[in-house]
Structure 1
Amino acid sequence: MSPSPKSVVDTWVKAFNAADVDALAALYHPDAVNHQTAYAPLEGRDNIRRLFETEFARATMVCNVENLFEDGDWAILEWTDPNGLRGCGFFHVVDGLIRLQRGYFDRLTFYKAQNIPLDDIIA
Structure 2
Amino acid sequence: MRKTMLSLVAICMLVVTGVQAAEIELSANSESTTVSVEPNALCKAVMQGDVDTVKKLIESGEDVNRRSLGMAPIHFAARYNQAEILELLIENGAKLNKRCSKGYTAKKHAEMSNATESLAVIETAMKK
TM-score, length-normalised on structure 1? 0.30
Which gives a bigger RCO, structure 1 or 2 (Cα 8 Å, sep 6+)?
1
Return the structure number with greater helix share. Answer: 2
Larger radius of gyration: 2
Instruction: Using structure 2 for the length normalisation, give the TM-score.
Output: 0.29
Structure in which a larger fraction of residues adopt strand = 1
